Structure formats: C-alpha cells, structure tokens
Structure 1
C-alpha cells in the first residue's frame, strides 16, 4: 500500500455568499454543453431540425436525473429505509448512477421520437459521440470530489505506472494518507478513445443504430473491467450492479446488430436522409 501526503484541491469553483458552485457541477455542465453542440452540428448534416436536441434535452435531463437517483436508491435502500423519507430526494448529498441516467434518457428518447415522428436510431446515432465525450469529461468531476477511485496503489503498481502520472492527479488521489488508483482517469481516457473511434465510424456509414450500439458495447466493455477496480460499487446479491448492466448491454447490443443485419432486413444507413 503506497502512503502519501498531499493537500486536496478545493471542490468549490465559486462562492457567492452562502451559495457554493462546485467544480463537479461546472465540469458536468461543460461536458453536457459540448456534447449538445456536437449533436446539433451533426443533426443539421443528417437532416434533423436544429432544435431537435434542445427540445429532447428539456425532457431527457430531468428524466435522466430522476432515473439515476431511483437506480442508486434502489441499490442503497437499506440506507434510506429508516428515514427520514425526504433523504430519498436529497441528490445534493450525492448518490446518482450513470446507468440509471442512461436508462432514463433512452426511455425518454423512445417516447420523444414517437411523438415527434423522428427515427430513434437516427437520434441515438447522432447522440452517441456526444454521450461518450460528455461522460469522459464528466469523470473529472469525480476527480475533484475524490470519488469513483479504485483501491489502494501497491508498491509495484506505483513503481511500474502510477509514479509517471502527473503530480496533480496523484496528489488528488492521496486520501487520508493513502494513494488510490485513479479509476476516474482510466474511464475518462477509455471514453475519449471511444469518442474518436465513433467519429471515424461516421465515415464508414454503418447501418443505422450501429453507432449507438457500438457506443453501448465500447463503454460497457471498459466499464466492466474498471468497475472491478472501484471501491464504491453498487452491489446486488454480492454482484456489482454496473458489471451486470454492462454485460447485459453488450449482449443486447450484439443481438440487435445481428437482427438488423439479417438477410432481407431493410435497415437504412447512418447517412440516409430518411
């Protein structure tokens, strides 16, 4: 176990009287704004109205937050069962899960696309690069909060790898005198690499839906292994929930790709206008 000594970074971005604006929220907002900009830019090329994604986010953001909270509380119910009940809604105290947010956003997208008469797969494909980039940026919010980290760094791991990381990362991962694996960094880099691959796949002009399904496969594959390193996993019957969801997402995505590529399946391609 590698011991360390460091002063953590200030979690507060801006103090306005009694109101604190935290780096976590700022970083999440930057990731979301950049993702939205990219989606709007691409949607114009793909024949969608420029306001489609703005209209979608009006419903998707609150739905994703609520779903993320429900997901988290359902796995941590023993901490809320004895009340007070209002704690269930206390998101400001922490406790949301990205898989819950994704489930809420996908369900919202399905309903939104049916109402607006827009192809769900088209919307999802355009959103895929924005999603994974926003997730990659958002993990730095976890960095500022000193959360979503892995177990303690061993002497061998420090000598072979961790010591070469920038000092500001290792300093922030030094918590109560113990240096922890920066799993937030591992996932952030994995997501950014996935974003770059998705940008290349746009040129390949895959079958519609496969951009989004690749995103699910790529993110879930990396998350499965990174989750195994984390110390704050949600657990169900002794199994890490994120790993269960990751495996399920990969299997479902592969099955959908196979079905949509069966002989006779008239699946449009990513760049098709209709």
Structure 2
C-alpha cells in the first residue's frame, strides 16, 4: 500500500513534492479545527487552547498512525531496519492508531491544564468524522483502500471520474473509500446537526455522549466497509480495524448507557456565586443609594421603576455615564460606595437559606467563590456583617478584573485562584448579566429569582436552570446534568 506515489504529486519543487494525500489530510484537519473551535468557544475555551490541542493531537496522531501501521503491517520488516519506521514518505498510516495517540495527548493536555477531558472530547471528537470523510479522498487519488474486483457495469450509477480512477492495473475495483467517506459525512451531519439540535430541545445528552455517539457510528460503519477491503492490516486471521471497531461500538454503547459514569465519579463542581441579589439582599441598599444620588444630582422622580430594575446587576461604571453624564465617574463611584457602606447595616440582609446553603456546601467539600461587580471591600463588608466569610474561599471583585460582567474574566480568575478548570464550575446569579457572563465562560448557570419583576429578563438570558429557593442548589449539584450548549 503506497500512500504517496509520485504520480499523485500536486506540486513539485525540485526534489520536494506536495502530495494530494497530504493536502487533503491537512484540509480535513483544518475543517475539523474550525468546527471544534466553534464548539470550544461556546464552552469558554480560548483559541490558544484549541490551537494547542489541534497541533498536539495532529502531530501525535501522525506518530500513532505510523506506529500502528508498522506494528500490524509487518513488524519484523521494520525491526530489521528501524530507520524504515521514519520513512513515512514511502507510505503507511493507519487512522485508528492516530485516534488512540491523539486521545492520549488530549488526556495529557486536559490533566495538565485541569480541564475536563470528556468535555473537551465532546467539542472535538464528533468533528473528526468530517476529517475522516475528506481524508478518504486521498485514498481515492492514490488508488488504494479499495475493495474487490468488480465489473465495469458496477459503476453505471457512479460519476465517471470515480469509475476511471478505480480502473487499476487493467481491472475495476469497488470504491470502498467512497463508502466510508459518505458514511463518515452522514455521521457528522447526524451528530452535529440532528442530535445536537434535538438535545437543545429535549436535553437528553450527558457529558461524554458526543464521544460515545462517534464511537458507535464510526465503529459500525468502519466494520462494514473494512470487510469489503482487500488491503486490511491483520492481527492473525482477524482484520485489525474490525476488531477495534467492535471495541469502539462496545465502549460507545456502554458509555451512552452511563456505565462509566457510575464507576468514574466526577470531582465536585466549583461553586461560584454573585453577591448582590444572590447571597445578600442588597437591593434595598442599592436602590436607596441610587435614589440618594438622583435626589442630589437630578430629581427623585426620575428614578422610576424602569431605572430601578435597570441598575440591579450592571457595574456602576456602566450605569453612571448613562444617568450622570456630566459627573466624574470615579468621584461618583466613591460617593456611592461611601453612602452605600454607611447604610449597609440598616438596608442589607442575607437571602433566605443563604447561610444554610453555604455551610452545607462547605461541609461537603465544595470550593466556594464570589464573583461580583462590587469592589472587594464592599463584598467583604456584606459577608462579614452576617458571618458568611468563613464559607468563602476566594473573592473576585470589580477591582480584580479589567472587564466586569458579562465578560467572563471574573469567573475565569476565580477558577484560576482555586486551581480548578472552568469546565466543572457552576455560577449562581440573579440577573441577566450574571447568566450571560456564565454563558460566555461556558459554565453551568443557575438563575435565582427573588424579584418577580425581573423574572422575564432572567428567563430570556436562558440559564441552565431557574430556582426560587437557594436550598434547591443542594440537589442540583448532585445531579447528572444534561449536555447543553454550554455543557455542565
């Protein structure tokens, strides 16, 4: 099996030629990267993570594909002169070996950076089908990975160019490359466009299910097509690709049925909370402070119901230029804080069941953080008033970030401070701004409603779940959550 015959060179530069097979393989990887990047951005991973994984998995995938081929094609031939193993230009790659090596690199990368491996894999692995579909056309150009001899009439309903290139050495051969390419493309469409869309409505998928669907689809389709090929790598009397395909199907089915989740418990999710309107009922203090500023610099009547709802959630630096354009924002923020701090004991109280929830989570070993648009001293003041500081591991306030919510910077910083990956994090907030920040970070979001006037805005932000009582979180954190567009 020759993977890079000279006749299949796309461009020649002196003694160096660029092969069609290589171009198609790189194209497949590139398209897979673009689809994976789209999914990873939804889950809060930045482009650097996507690039690192793409390069690492590709390079190690080539190594794995080469070693797998050498091992099962004729290991004694390569051991007689080990330098032949490195002569990849003479042909010899096996995709299943590449999948194993790429997966091992992904596992290493996820553990190193404290990411959830299955969540990363869900973003990437199903998209491998499109790379495989494109890559099989390299086999077509190289006139390999074909089936048994067939008659010319076999191609009556095929495009002429396929028929012509399947005429090899005076004989027509079945285009098994095409069968697998089409099946791979169908599998990609099924998972990426059909199953995921259905899941957005019915929420039936769990973390890892994207990978399990891939294994089952690729496993059965490769098993069928491999049985038609004439150039299979063998393990004794067994076609190696069919043996691995059976393993893929077995693992995929058991994984989807939840067997692995029963024996491989996930670590406890990191619990992050907004402060105002979530753990502390600071709404009266916020409104009273704004009212004080309106009375001083505008009129009390102008601080109507619409503005009262609008100021709950966004940072001061965003709201003050809108309401007080002729005032210095920094000076106004200082004035706001001074008055707000003074009235805290009178106007602030903890939310119902807030202390009970924090105490329970702490006793069960959860790490707890606060991510707020308030400055740190304001957060600490509120927590200290009601002895809640003892339950909190980290505080990320407005002065700790360059960009406030809905930018996800604060959530990422809290995860970093707690030495945890963001992909096993739950963020609890009471405003649309909080939920959008959670979406931007790719974390599971809980919308807490205590003000019925704001319920529609919170629903429109589409949190993963909405609660009316903080104690409900005790059960939510123990659930096996669905695989939503920003997966738990």
TM norm structure 1: 0.89
In the alignment, the residues of structure 1 paired with residue 22 and residue 207 of structure 2 have an alpha-carbon distance, to the nearest angstrom, of 33
SS at match of 1:35: helix
Is 1:79 aligned with 2:77?
Answer: yes
In the alignment, the residues of structure 1 paired with residue 156 and residue 6 of structure 2 have an alpha-carbon distance, to the nearest angstrom, of 19
Is 1:32 aligned with 2:29?
Answer: yes
In the alignment, the residues of structure 2 paired with residue 9 and residue 36 of structure 1 have an alpha-carbon distance, to the nearest angstrom, of 29
Kindly indicate whether the alpha-carbon contact (under 8 Å) linking 1:209 and 1:270 is maintained by their aligned counterparts in 2: no
Instruction: Name the residue aligned to 1:3.
Output: none
In the alignment, the residues of structure 2 paired with residue 255 and residue 183 of structure 1 have an alpha-carbon distance, to the nearest angstrom, of 29
Kindly indicate whether the alpha-carbon contact (under 8 Å) linking 2:215 and 2:248 is maintained by their aligned counterparts in 1: yes
Instruction: Name the residue aligned to 1:150.
Output: 147
Question: Per the alignment, do residues 88 and 15 of structure 1 end up closer, same or farther by CA in structure 2, a change over 3 Å counting?
Answer: same
SS at match of 2:12: strand
Deviation at 1:273, TM superposition (A): 4.4
**Alignment equivalent of 2:166, drawn from 155, 173, 176:** 173
Instruction: Name the residue aligned to 2:129.
Output: 132
Whose RCO is larger (CA < 8 A, sep 6+)?
1
In the alignment, the residues of structure 1 paired with residue 211 and residue 54 of structure 2 have an alpha-carbon distance, to the nearest angstrom, of 17
SS at match of 1:142: helix
Unpaired runs of 5+ residues, structure 1, are 1-7
Deviations 1:75-99 (A, max 9, x none): 1213324x32211221111111000
Kindly indicate whether the alpha-carbon contact (under 8 Å) linking 2:65 and 2:96 is maintained by their aligned counterparts in 1: yes
Instruction: Name the residue aligned to 1:224.
Output: 223
In the alignment, the residues of structure 2 paired with residue 146 and residue 65 of structure 1 have an alpha-carbon distance, to the nearest angstrom, of 21
RMSD: 2.0
In the alignment, the residues of structure 1 paired with residue 487 and residue 251 of structure 2 have an alpha-carbon distance, to the nearest angstrom, of 27
**Alignment equivalent of 1:92, drawn from 83, 89, 93:** 89
**Aligned residue runs from structure 1 range 200-219, under 5 A:** 200-205=194-199, 206-219=205-218
Instruction: Name the residue aligned to 2:485.
Output: 271
In the alignment, the residues of structure 2 paired with residue 135 and residue 188 of structure 1 have an alpha-carbon distance, to the nearest angstrom, of 7
Unpaired runs of 5+ residues, structure 2, are 200-204, 263-477
Kindly indicate whether the alpha-carbon contact (under 8 Å) linking 1:122 and 1:270 is maintained by their aligned counterparts in 2: no
Instruction: Name the residue aligned to 1:5.
Output: none
* Greater Rg by CA: 2
SS at match of 2:156: helix
Number of residues of Structure 1 aligned to a counterpart in Structure 2? 261
In the alignment, the residues of structure 2 paired with residue 270 and residue 68 of structure 1 have an alpha-carbon distance, to the nearest angstrom, of 33
Instruction: Name the residue aligned to 1:4.
Output: none
In the alignment, the residues of structure 1 paired with residue 191 and residue 96 of structure 2 have an alpha-carbon distance, to the nearest angstrom, of 20
**Aligned residue runs from structure 1 range 231-242, under 5 A:** 231-242=230-241
SS at match of 2:149: coil
TM norm structure 2: 0.51
Deviation at 1:216, TM superposition (A): 0.9
In the alignment, the residues of structure 2 paired with residue 47 and residue 54 of structure 1 have an alpha-carbon distance, to the nearest angstrom, of 14
